[in-house]
């Protein structure tokens, strides 16, 4: 008897599961068992229909559910492929609920800012110690991309996020990088540049350049100090949305 059956109460109500959910469960079992590995092509709709004894709608709905969860990629005119599971895919699944949580209580934004400080200041210690000349070149290229987007708030902050995520990536820990990416994405919803002083973008670029200079010298204390100043200065640029949802 399967292990999951041991946790079912005898008196629990019988639940009639949708066909598409049953197909999803079987597809997921194929992934878990290794029958389908990352990069593999998913069997055709017809093959799945014949294997599971269901109609095309159930198969299509199950495949779409797999895609929505980041488990497979669906391309028009091509067979679906199994994705490699990553921390980024996992955080994508909680993206909407995380934004809802932030919008439901203003104090959560301050909590997120605190999390950012703790995570990024810890990350840069590792990054400054371990960064390579190639890493430094990549960071400087990101700053130039950011510079090319001066005056364009959306593109500028996207480049800003890329800079900070790149530093997180230099820790060599994919979970730190994924958390940083998700955290900054959620935080960006609250970016309010028009409410604050002018010249902020030039200041950001100078601060980023200074951080890179310290990292290039493997000056851990200096990099931490500059990043701390940068985060403290930029913190007020993120404010709760009054009466709106992200």
Angle at 107 between CA 103 and CA 110, to 5 degrees: 100
Given 45, 60, 85, which residue is the final one in a domain? 85
Q: What is the pLDDT of residue 154?
A: 84
Same domain, 54 and 120: no
Asked if residue 237 has pLDDT above 70, the reply is yes
Mean pLDDT for 120-135 is: 97
Asked if residue 219 has pLDDT above 90, the reply is yes
How far is 154 from 121, CA to CA, in rounded Å?
Answer: 25
Domain CATH for 155: 1.20.120.530
Asked if residue 195 has pLDDT above 70, the reply is no
Same domain, 60 and 179: no
DSSP conformational letter for 31: H
Q: Look up residue 213 and give its two tokens.
A: 């200079």
Same domain, 175 and 97: yes
Domain count within the chain = 2
With respect to residue 53, please indicate whether it lies within any of the assigned structural domains: yes
Higher-confidence residue: 73 or 129?
Answer: 129
With respect to residue 136, please indicate whether it lies within any of the assigned structural domains: yes
Same domain, 233 and 121: yes
Given 56, 85, 114, which residue is the final one in a domain? 85
Domain of residue 141 covers 91-237
Mean pLDDT for 203-223 is: 97
Same domain, 218 and 137: yes
Q: What is the pLDDT of residue 10?
A: 54
Same domain, 60 and 132: no
pLDDT band at 243 (very low <50, low <70, confident <90, very high): very low
Model pLDDT for residues 100-119, shown as the tens digit of each residue: 777 777 788 888 899 999 99
Domain CATH for 19: 1.10.10.10
Report how far Cα 116 is from the mean position of its chain's Cα atoms: 14
Higher-confidence residue: 3 or 177?
Answer: 177
With respect to residue 71, please indicate whether it lies within any of the assigned structural domains: yes
Which burial class, exposed, middle or buried, applies to 45 when counting CB atoms under 10 A from its CB (0-12, 13-18, 19+)?
middle
With respect to residue 242, please indicate whether it lies within any of the assigned structural domains: no
With respect to residue 243, please indicate whether it lies within any of the assigned structural domains: no
pTM over 0.85: no
Percent of the chain with pLDDT over 70: 87
Q: What is the pLDDT of residue 245?
A: 34
Same domain, 139 and 213: yes
pLDDT band at 241 (very low <50, low <70, confident <90, very high): low
Q: Which DSSP helix (H) or strand (E) runs through 72?
A: strand 72-73
Given 52, 85, 118, which residue is the final one in a domain? 85
Model pLDDT for residues 35-58, shown as the tens digit of each residue: 999 999 999 999 999 999 999 999
Question: Do 105 and 61 meet the contact criterion of CB atoms below 8 Å apart?
Answer: no
Asked if residue 89 has pLDDT above 80, the reply is no
With respect to residue 101, please indicate whether it lies within any of the assigned structural domains: yes
Q: Where are the alpha helices (DSSP H) in the chain?
A: 19-33, 45-52, 56-68, 87-92, 95-104, 107-130, 133-148, 153-169, 174-188, 200-216, 220-234
Same domain, 46 and 156: no
Same domain, 66 and 135: no
Question: Do 123 and 176 meet the contact criterion of CB atoms below 8 Å apart?
Answer: yes
Same domain, 41 and 117: no
Q: Where are the alpha helices (DSSP H) in 131-152?
A: 133-148
Q: Look up residue 163 and give its two tokens.
A: 């800079």
Same domain, 125 and 223: yes
């Amino acid at each position: 008897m399967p292990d999951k059956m041991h946790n079912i109460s005898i008196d629990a109500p019988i639940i009639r599961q949708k066909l598409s959910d049953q197909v999803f469960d079987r597809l997921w079992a194929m992934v878990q068992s290794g029958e389908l590995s990352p990069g593999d092509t998913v069997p055709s709709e017809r093959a799945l229909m014949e294997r599971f004894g269901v109609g095309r709608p159930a198969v299509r709905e199950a495949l779409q559910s797999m895609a929505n969860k980041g488990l497979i990629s669906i391309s028009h005119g091509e067979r679906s492929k199994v994705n490699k599971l990553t921390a980024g895919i996992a955080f994508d699944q909680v993206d909407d609920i995380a934004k809802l949580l932030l919008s439901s209580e203003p104090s959560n934004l301050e909590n997120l800012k605190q999390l950012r400080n703790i995570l990024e200041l810890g990350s840069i210690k590792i990054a400054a110690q371990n960064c390579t000349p190639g890493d430094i070149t990549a960071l400087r290229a990101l700053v130039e991309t950011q510079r090319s987007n001066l005056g364009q708030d959306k593109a500028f902050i996207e480049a800003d996020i890329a800079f900070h995520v790149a530093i997180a990536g230099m820790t060599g820990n994919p979970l730190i990088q994924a958390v940083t990416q998700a955290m900054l994405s959620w935080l960006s919803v609250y970016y309010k540049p028009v409410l604050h002083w002018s010249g902020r973008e030039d200041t950001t670029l100078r601060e980023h350049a200074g951080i890179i200079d310290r990292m290039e010298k493997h000056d851990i204390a200096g990099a931490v100090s500059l990043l701390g100043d940068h985060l403290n200065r930029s913190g007020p640029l993120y404010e709760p949305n009054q009466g709106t949802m992200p």
